[in-house]
Chains A and B, each alone.
Chain A
């Protein structure tokens, strides 16, 4: 009889002891970024592929925003609207806005993001191969991947200096790229420069609900030097040599520039210039920088 009772009791104890973790305050204490240090830090690019008709995408945006909230300027987020869920509705009054860009659509197709489903994204575009989908990361994994990338040493330094004329809406942008090691292998390394606009109020489907004034963050607006950017290196890498690239770009009054019901206004004070260096063979981003259009 004792044995008979002993075995089920062992079951219950074994399972019962695997206790439940009740969490009352989900947020981790925030970390403080040392902005005074002259040491170059590795910054991380988070690409959130999204769409205004993607019901689960706001949840991903929350994660992306929490990454910048925790890591400050060391994490750069861009919201890439592309794929089925990003297409504007052509009739009615909802989801009329078109946040898509030709560069965003090209990236989405090339990396096969929305083909797998939204929301999804990439962290520094790492793990990319044309035959697998390992580089397409669900937002639940972003924090872990960002932490891994932040822990790596910086391989390059980026500086962006903007000169913006408010009357003509013309930007002259100088980007200085400096490789920190001449032992860096692979490549060629390329530079992409793009403009993003933050906090655009527009329609969004959120957990099955239509939200008319949803705040879209870090929306990719335009590429300043083409979809895939331009070469920084063609031969051997020379360490600590600044490579200067200069770009001019005139912001349109609206995006898309053709206007109409799908257009949303350009607001200079909410725009940022993002530049990043990547390995053209692996597509992996080794450094990223972001500055405000108007400091």
Chain B
């Protein structure tokens, strides 16, 4: 019996030893010389919504009940080599997303290798030349916008301070690519880097130029459509001490498309920006003139599909919901836009500054139509109109006067008070035939710090207008329980609607948990129908009601 017991112990020890040694051998075999096998990183995001129909706010019934958008990036890096994929899943795509987002696939995959001064990318990539007037390929997931290029890109640095880029590809269109080819070249020289004599100068100057051409077959029996359309631009940037200024001019040849009503007029754009900042004071001035600058790789594409270039938005980008209620969308067909912002901090220990100082921000932005004259009589060239370059059209597209005062009262209390007056030409920006909306908005944001990682925040917002759906109020209370948990409840109330029965509440409750690289948010509530914009690019959002779950994670 004792022998049997000893035997069994020996056998167990042997098996354990073999198993252990086998696993050790396996590990050693995978990397016998302790080689650098590179690293794999990635992230994951899923947004799910369970829809409950609500006819009062126009939330339609969704046959699937629940819709999910999912994304996962997996990127492998080893030294100068990087490769990656993005898996996307729309089962089916969330309401309000472009209907082309359906199903699953790997629409984004790339490999990049850097060999000294040359960097080569094949597959999918994003790119921007200058301010984006000739090309800006980017992803804005919240808009359902992804105009990545699928092709080849080269980046080359022939001399110190000289940067060149060349690319060719087709643009992403949902799970396929658009019909047009995009070819581009960009060159930039940083004079202070390139010339040793300028290396120590205070004035830093950068010059650049780009050219982008698209090709699309002409199959039109009635019109002679240009198959190759070029868009070129030149730019500069000057920085001296606290002053910075940059500008860009772009010129596009005849590009008849659905966006411009198959107009054969050239397009051009000029953008100028200047900033000056010292401690406690900053000022920025921005202006642009855009004329017929829509540039897509499919002349019939609409909405946010297959955009090659980008018309920068100069208006203030708001985060408070009622300030962003009527957001301005840049008008690539034509506009004159401007903005100026002054920030000033009243010093500490003064009558107005108090113990911590007081920050004041004033922003004024606006946009008007171009000063154009329609071509009367025979218009053999299909040019449509002429525009007075130095003139400003009479039609107001947008105005926003914004005044913000932010103050920290003591170690536990701080707050912001904002007033804004906006004019929003809904007929141009959103729905033709709509009246212009003049609104006054007041926002108060108060934070009370309970502990170093715990705080209560209250937002009170009010929007008053005689147009559209009239007056709105919004209240949000957010409680950050600790560094991991938060809970928030808000209600947007259309209390001034002239149709009393349509004075709807749009309430929303959020609970969120975040720890290290993982974040989970669960919400329940209603979303009003409206327009959602990021950087002047917008999409319509339908009304919805239900539960939402958002999960993000990275490794």
Contact = CB atoms under 8 A, between A and B. Distances in A.
B215 interface: yes
Given A21-B229, A27-B222, A15 B185 contact: yes
Given A89-B433, A208-B427, A66 B223 contact: yes
Interface residues of A, number: 51
Contacts of A26: 223-225, 256, 262, 264, 380-382
B226 A20 contact: yes
Contact of B211 (A15, A66, A95, A117): A15
Interface stretch (A56-64, A153-161, A229-237, A259-267): A56-64
A22 B299 contact: no
Nearest to A89: B433
Contacts of A143: 219-223
Given A22-B254, A89-B433, A5 B299 contact: no
B156 A8 contact: yes
Interface stretch (B18-26, B158-166, B353-361, B495-503): B158-166
Given A7-B156, A8-B156, A18-B213, A23 B226 contact: yes
B223 A28 contact: yes
Interface stretch (A132-140, A250-258, A275-283): A132-140
Interface residues of B, number: 50
B257 interface: yes
Interface string B157-183: 011000010101000000000000001
Contacts of B286: none
A31 B256 CA distance: 22
A291 to B, nearest CB: 24
B118 interface: yes
B8 interface: no
A62 B220 CA distance: 14
Interface in B210-241: 211, 213, 215, 219-230
Given A59-B258, A141-B300, A205-B432, A21 B226 contact: yes
Contacts of A89: 433
Contacts of B254: 21-23
A85 B99 CA distance: 22
A146 interface: yes
Contact of B224 (A23, A59, A69): A23
A38 interface: no
A150 to B, nearest CB: 9
Contact of B220 (A4, A21, A28): A28
Interface string B138-172: 00000000000000001010110000101010000
B554 to A, nearest CB: 36
Interface in A3-46: 4-5, 7-8, 11-12, 14-16, 18-28, 31
Interface in B81-122: 99, 118
Interface in A219-252: none
A67 B223 CA distance: 10
A84 interface: yes
A27 B228 CA distance: 17
A55 to B, nearest CB: 4
A54 interface: yes
Interface in A84-119: 84-85, 89, 95, 117
A24 to B, nearest CB: 7
Task: Tell me if B's interface is mostly helix, strand, loop or mixed.
Answer: loop
Contacts of B202: none
Interface in B448-485: none
B227 to A, nearest CB: 6
B261 interface: yes
A14 B154 CA distance: 12
B7 to A, nearest CB: 70
B164 A22 contact: no
B453 to A, nearest CB: 48
Nearest to B215: A18
A14 B166 contact: yes
A17 to B, nearest CB: 9
A140 B299 contact: yes
Given A12-B185, A53-B432, A95-B433, A21 B222 contact: no
B215 to A, nearest CB: 7
Contacts of B228: 18-21
Nearest to A84: B431
Contact of A70 (B164, B184, B221, B258): B221
B47 interface: no
Contact of A66 (B118, B222, B431): B222
A147 interface: yes
Contacts of A22: 226, 253-254
Contact of A147 (B164, B219, B253): B219
A140 B226 contact: no
Given A4-B159, A26-B223, A19 B230 contact: yes
Interface of B: 99, 118, 154, 156, 158-159, 164, 166, 168, 183-185, 187, 211, 213, 215, 219-230, 253-254, 256-258, 261-262, 264, 299-300, 302, 333, 369, 380-382, 395, 427-428, 431-433
Interface of A: 4-5, 7-8, 11-12, 14-16, 18-28, 31, 53-56, 58-59, 62-63, 66-67, 69-71, 84-85, 89, 95, 117, 133, 138-141, 143-144, 146-147, 205, 207-208
